[in-house]
Structure 1
Amino acid sequence: MVKISAVIITLNEERVIERCIKSMQRVADEIIIVDSYSTDKTEEISRKLGAKFIQHPFNGYRDQKNFALQQATYDCVLSLDADEALSIELEESILKIKENWQYDAYKFNRLNYCCGQWIKHTDWYPDRKIRLFDRRKGEWYGANIHEVVEMKEGSKVCVLKGDLLHWTYSSYEQLVKVMNKYSTLSAKEYFNRGKKSSFIKIVISPFWRFIHSYFIRLGFLDGYGGFFVSISAAKLNQLKYVKLRYLHLANSSKLNHQHPLLAKEGIRIGFDAKRAFYNKSGLGNYSRNLIDSLAKTDSANSFMLFTPKIENRIILNQHTESNISIISPSKIYRKIFGSLWRSKFIVSDIKKQKIDIYHGLSHELPYGIKKSGAKTVLTVHDLIFLRFPKFYGPINVFIYKKKLKYACKVADKIVAISSQTKDDLINFLKVDPNKIVVIYQSCNSIYQQKIGKEEFQSIKAKYSLPDRYLLYVGTIEERKNLLNIVKALKEKKIEIPLVVVGRKTEYFHKSVKPYLVENRMDTIIFPEKVKNEELPAIYQNALCFVYPSIFEGFGIPILEALTSGIPVITSKGSCFEETGGLGSIYIDPQNPNEIGEAILKIIENQGLRSDLTKHGVEHAKQFLPEVIADKFMILYKSLL
C-alpha cells in the first residue's frame, strides 16, 4: 500500500484549518502544516489534531508549497489549501488508489462555494486541479496570480471521482474587489509580455465568455449565483483588456491625462539579471535579494529583469510580484547569440522598454549603453581578480579588467559593496571617488525568522548533523582558507565537529581531503545539496561561525551568521570588520593557532558568546533588506 504525506501551508487559518485536517485524516499517513508564524490558534488546533507543525518564513505561495513538499516523509503527497477539504466520495477514491497507485498525479474536481451556495456549473466546475502527485515528478510553479502543479514531461495523470470542496468568497462585494485586483495584475503581466489588446478582445471575448459559462456550461442552473459568477468572469476578461489598452496608450504617449491604472507606474528600472537566474550563491544571492526587497518595498515602480535565457533557470521568488517582468531575446536568437545580446544588442531592448535606470548588478554594463537613454548604475563587488590574479589566470584577468574599466567609465554611479571595494576601485582603476557610493549588501530575509525546533530536527536528521557543531559556509576554495580551520581544530585538539556547507573545488581534493585522510579526522562533516531555505536552521543552531577568508569584497556569510544570532570568527583587515562589527572575533587567517584560540574562547565562555551574539544582531540591523532597498531608491531617484 502506498503511503501519503498531506501538506498544508497556513497563516492565521483558525477558522478553516480543523475542517481541512479532519477531511484528510482517513487517507493521509502523516499531516504536515507549514506555517508562516500565525498569531491566532492555528498551531494549537493543528497540534491537537495530531498534525506535525513547522514554522517557516513566507517567500511566496509557490516556494512555501515546494518547501512543504520537501518536509514530507513519503513521495506521494496530498497538497491542499487551508480553505479546501476532501468530500467523502473523494476520500474513498484516494483510499482505493492507495491500494493500486498507477499514475504519477491525480486531478481533483474542485467544487467552489461562493456567496452562500455551491457553484455546480459555469466555468467554475469542474475546476480541475492536481492535488495528489509524486513529488519526484512534479512541483509547484506559478507567476503573478495563481500557483499550479506542473509535472515532468511524460507523466501520467488521472482524474479522481469526488469533489475537492473549496470555500471562496463570502460576499459579492469581496468577489468584485478581487476581480478588480486580478484584472490589474493580469493587464500588467500581459503588457510586460508584449501582448496587445483589441476591439474583439474587449467586446467579443467577454461576451463569448459569458455565453460559454452561463449557457454552454449550464450556469443558469445555479440560479443567481451562476449568473453572477458568469458575468463576473466576463467582466474580469473585459477589464483585463481595457486596462491593457490603457497601458499601451500611455506607453506610446497617446493619453493626455493619467488614468488611475497608470498612477503607480513610477520609475522603470532594468537589471542585468543573468546572475539572479543562474548563480545559486554569491552574485546570484546579491541580485535576487536586492530585486526582491526593491519589488516588495517599492510597489509603485516597475522592475524589468533582462536575461539571455529563461529556461533551466533558478526561479526567482520575487517573480510573483506584480511589478516584476522578464525581458529576453527570441528563442532562436538567444540559443546562438545570448552572450552577445547581453553585452551589446540588449541596448535596443532597454530603449524599447523605456527604461529610466539600468543597473548592472555584477561588474558589467553593455557596450553602447549610452544610446539607450537610460541612466546607469554599476555594482562592483570586489577586485579580487586584480589582487590575487593567480586564482583566475591571465586571460580571465584581462577580460574582467577590460569589461570593468569600460563599465566604470560609462556608469553614472558606481555602487561599491564595501569601503574596501571603493578603495580598490580608486587605487587599482583610478576611478573618480565622487562617482562611487558605498551601499552594503543585505542578506535574505529568511535569516531574520527564528526557525522552529521541529523544522531543525527534520533538517538535522536529513543531514546527520550533531547536537553541537561549528559552522563554515562558502565555496571550498583556496582563498576561503578552510584548511587552516581544520589545522586549528587538530592543533588545539578541539573535538566539536565542524559542519562545512559549500561547493567543493579542486582545492578540496588536492589540499583539504588529503590532510583529513592523513590525520584521520572524521569530525568534519560535508552535507551535500543543502537548500538555501535550510541554511537559517543550520546557522541558528551552530555554536559559532568560522570564516578565515584571505580576502572578500563583503563577506555575505558573515552577515547571515550575525543575523541568525551566532558569534563569528573571521579575518583581520579587508572588509571583514565592516561586515562583522562588534559581533565577531578577528584573527590572522594564516595562523591556525590563533584561529583555534578564538574557537576555544567562544565554546568555553558562555558570557562572551552571549555578548558577541547581542552585538552581532544589533550590528546586522543596518543591513536589513528594506534599509538597503531604501538607499538604492534614493540613489536611483538622484539620477533622474
Structure 2
Amino acid sequence: MRLFFDARYIRTDFHDGISRYSAELAAAVHAMAADRGVEVTYLVHDEAQLPLLPDGAQTLALHAPTSWREPFTARLLNRFEPDVVFSPMQTIGSLGRRFKLILTLHDTIYYRHRTPPRDLPALVRVGWRLFHLSYLPQRVTLNAADLVATVSETSRRQFAAARLTKRRVVVIPNAPQRLADLLPGGADAVRTDGPVRNIVYMGSFMPYKNVDTLVRAMRLLPGRTLHLLSRITPARRAELQALAAGGAVVFHDGVTDAEYAAALADHAVLASTSLDEGYGLPLAEALALGVPAVVSDMEIFHEVAGSGALYVDPRDPAAVAAAVSTLDDEGVRARVIADGTAHIAQFTWQRSAGILLDAVASLTAR
C-alpha cells in the first residue's frame, strides 16, 4: 500500500501549529508504517524540509502549497500511483484524482476570526478571507475527499453543527511536544514546590486571545510576574504596558522552545484567558511537563486538560488572580498537576499515527 504524506507545510524557520503537527505526525507514521505494510512517500517543496523528516524517508518534490499549480496537484500525483494521499490541510488539489484522499481541517476558528496568518502572500490572504465568508467553499472542498480528519472531538462536533461535510470525520488528535527533553535536567528540573511565582502566556496577541485580562489580573497578584513569551508589535506592547498599571509584566518578544520550557519549569502556571481557541497546544504542553494551568472555561480546553486545569471566566481578572492564588495550596497544586499529567498522557503521536494508518487501511479495504 502506497501512502503519500503531504509534508509541504513543515516550516524551516520555526514551527507553527500546522508545521509541528505535520512534522510530529510524519515521524510517528514513519516509525509504524513498515509494520503495517505501508510504504510512505513524503511530499516536500523545499530541500530545507528534508532534515526535518525522519532519517531514510522517501520524498517527492512538488510545488509549494501556495503555488498557482496547487489546484492541479492531483493530476501530478496520479503519475506516481499512490493508493492514498493524506494532507494535514484541506487545500491540496483533488480534481481528476485516481487515489483515495484524506483532507484535514483542524478547527473552525477562522470562520469566527477571519484574519489570515500574516506570513502568507498578499493574494493568498485575500483568497483566505473570501474562502471563509461562507461555509459553501469549505463544504465543496471537504466533500471532494474520501475522509476528513480533524484534531479534536470539539472540532468534530463543530463540523457536524455547521454541516461542513458529508464525509466521515475521524479525529487524529494533536499531541504535545516533550518540553522536558529541552531542559538540562529533564523532567526533574521542573520546579513546582512552593507558591506560584510566574504566570506564563504563550500565544498570539490577536484580540480574541484577550491577553488584556491576564495583564489586568497582575494588579491583584503582587510578588508574581507575568511572562508574555511571543513576538509582539510595538503598538500592542504599549497598549498592554498601559494596562499593567504597576503589575509585573515581562515581554520576551519571542523565545526558543528551550526558553519556553525553562519558563514553565520555574514555579510557573500556564495561563490563557482566550475567548476562543481552535485547540490550545500550549495548554497540552504545560500539562505534559507537569505544570498546572489556569484557563478560560471553554469546551476545547476541557477536552485538552480535563480536571488538570482551573477554569475561569476569561473576562474577570479577579477570578484569574483567585485561581492562581489557589494553586499556592500544596494539596490543590498537587491534585491539578496529577490530573493534568494523567489526562494529557492519552494524547501521543504514536496513537495519532495509528489512527491515521487505520484510516488509510479502511479506505484501501473498500
Work out which of the residue numbers 81, 92, 98 in structure 2 matches 1:373.
Answer: 98
The separation in 1 between residues aligned to 2:242 and 2:51, in whole angstroms, is 39
Letter in 1 for 2:353: A
- TM superposition shift of 1:273: 2.5
* Letter in structure 1 aligned against 2:46: I
- 2:78–2:99 Cα contact (<8 Å) kept: yes
Q: 2:315 aligns with which of 590, 606, 619?
A: 590
2: CA distance between counterparts of 1:395 and 1:318?
A: 29
Contact 2:231 2:252 in 1 (8 A): no
**Is the 1:570–1:584 contact (alpha carbons within 8 Å) kept by the matching residues of 2?**
yes
Structure 1 383/500 Cα, relative in aligned 2: closer, same or farther at 3 Å? same
| Matched-pair contact (CA < 8 Å) for 2:228–2:253 | no
Write the distance in 1 (CA, Å) between the matches of 2:24 and 2:54. Answer: 14
* Residue deviations 1:347-399 (CA, integer Å, cap 9, x gap): 2332122222212212323140xx23221111111111222347899863322
Which structure's CA Rg is the greater one? 1
Task: Find the aligned partners of 2:299 and 2:235 in 1 and give their Cα distance.
Answer: 22
8 A Cα contact 2:180 2:186, kept in partner:
no
Q: Specify the code of the residue in structure 1 equivalent to 2:271.
A: V
Q: Return the match for 2:342 from 618, 627, 638.
A: 618
Aligned equivalents of 1:382, 1:438: Cα separation in 2 = 11
Equivalent residues in 2 for 1:425-436 (5 A)? 425-432=159-166, 435-436=168-169
Give the structure 2 partner of residue 48 of structure 1. Answer: none
- On the 8 A contact 2:46/2:61 being kept in 1, the answer is no
Preserved contact between residue 292 and residue 318 of structure 1 (Cα < 8 Å): no
Q: Tell me, what secondary structure is at the counterpart of 1:277?
A: coil
| CA distance in 1: counterparts of 2:26 and 2:314, whole angstroms | 33
The verdict on how the C-alpha distance between 1:339 and 1:569 changes in structure 2, with shifts beyond 3 A counting, is: same
Task: State the one-letter code of the partner of 1:269.
Answer: L
Matched, 1:480 2:191: no
Distance 1:365 1:468, change over 3 A: same
Secondary structure of the residue aligned to 2:344 is helix
Per-residue CA shift, 1:281-324, capped at 9, x if unaligned?
A: 111111111112211233453333334x416x5x4655242134
Question: Equivalent residue for 2:111?
Answer: 386
Matched, 1:495 2:223: yes
Verify the 8 A CA contact 1:554 1:576 in the aligned structure 2: yes
- The structure 2 residue matched to 1:437, chosen from 170, 187, 197, is 170
Pick from 291, 294, 297: which aligns with 2:29? 294
Which one is further off, 393-402 or 292-301? Answer: 393-402
When structure 1 is superposed on structure 2, of 407-416 and 318-327 the one drifting more is 318-327
Q: CA deviation at 1:449?
A: 3.8
- Give the distance between the partners of 1:456 and 1:326, measured in 2 at CA: 41
Match of 1:417 in 2: 151
Tell me, in whole angstroms, the C-alpha distance in 1 between the residues paired with 2:50 and 2:269: 30
* Equivalent residue number for residue 511 of structure 1: 239
The two structures, once aligned, show a CA RMSD in angstroms of 2.9
Q: CA deviation at 1:625?
A: 1.5
Q: Structure 2: how far apart are the matches of 1:316 and 1:507?
A: 38
Give, in angstroms, the shift of residue 412 of structure 1.
1.0
Q: 2:297 aligns with which of 562, 565, 572?
A: 572
User: 1:474: how far off?
Assistant: 1.3
* Pair 1:504–1:607, CA change in 2 (3 A): same
CA distance in 2, matches of 1:390, 1:565: 33
* CA shift in 2, pair 1:454/1:618, >3 Å: closer
Does the alignment pair 1:538 with 2:268?
Answer: no
Structure 1: segments with no counterpart, 5+ residues? 1-266, 458-466
Gaps of 5+ in 2: 118-124, 190-195
Deviations 1:495-535 (A, max 9, x none): 2112222132587246324424xx244x2222244223443
Can you list the C-alpha shifts for 1:146-183, whole angstroms capped at 9, x where unaligned?
xxxxxxxxxxxxxxxxxxxxxxxxxxxxxxxxxxxxxx
CA contact (8 A) 2:179 2:258 kept: no
What's the TM-score once normalised by structure 1's chain length?
0.50
Work out whether 1:608 is the aligned partner of 2:344: no
Kindly provide the CA deviation profile for residues 305-344 of structure 1, in whole angstroms up to 9, marking residues without a partner as x. Answer: 334x416x5x465524213424224xxxx7xx96122x22
Q: How does 1:385-404 map to 2 (within 5 A)?
A: 385-389=110-114, 396-400=128-132, 401=135, 403-404=137-138
> What is the identity, as a one-letter code, of the residue corresponding to 1:452?
P
* Larger RCO (CA within 8 A; separation ≥ 6): 2
Q: 1:416 to 1:319 in 2, by over 3 A?
A: closer
- 1:109 equivalent in structure 2: none
The 3-state SS of whatever aligns with 2:10 is helix
Q: Could you tell me how far apart the structure 2 residues matched to 1:448 and 1:411 are?
A: 38
Which structure has greater strand proportion?
1
Deviation at 1:453, TM superposition (A): 4.0
Instruction: State how 1:61-72 maps to structure 2 within 5 Å.
Output: none
State the AA in 2 paired with 1:375.
K
Shift of 1:275: 2.0
State the aligned residue count.
Answer: 346
Corresponding residue SS for 1:487: helix
Structure 1 Cα separation of the partners of residues 6 and 322 of structure 2: 44
Does the Cα contact within 8 Å between 1:365 and 1:407 map onto a contact in 2?
A: no
Contact 1:268/1:303, CA 8 A, preserved across alignment: yes
Is the 2:291–2:337 Cα contact (8 Å) retained in structure 1? yes
Q: Secondary structure at the match of 1:544?
A: strand
Q: Distance in 1 between matches of 2:171 and 2:240?
A: 36
Deviations 1:95-114 (CA, angstroms, capped at 9, x unpaired): xxxxxxxxxxxxxxxxxxxx
Q: Does the aligned pair in 1 maintain the 2:283–2:293 contact within 8 Å? A: yes
Instruction: Work out whether residues 477 and 504 of structure 1, in 8 Å CA contact, stay in contact via their aligned partners in 2.
Output: no
Q: Is the 8 A contact 1:447 1:536 kept in 2?
A: yes
Q: Is the 8 A contact 1:319 1:325 kept in 2?
A: no
* Cross-structure match for 2:199: 470
Q: What does residue 179 of structure 2 align with?
A: 447
Aligned-residue offset at 1:419? 2.1
1:366 partner letter: G
Aligned-residue sequence identity (percent) comes to 20
Q: What amino acid sits opposite 1:322 in the alignment? A: G
Asked whether the equivalents of residues 218 and 225 of structure 2 are also in contact (C-alpha less than 8 Å), the reply is no
SS at match of 1:340: coil
Contact 1:477-1:506 at 8 Å conserved across structures: no
State whether residues 150 and 170 of structure 2, in contact with CA within 8 Å, keep that contact through their aligned partners in structure 1. yes
CA distance in 2, matches of 1:550, 1:580: 17
**Selected match of 1:305 from 42, 55, 67:** 42
**Displacement of 1:614:** 0.8
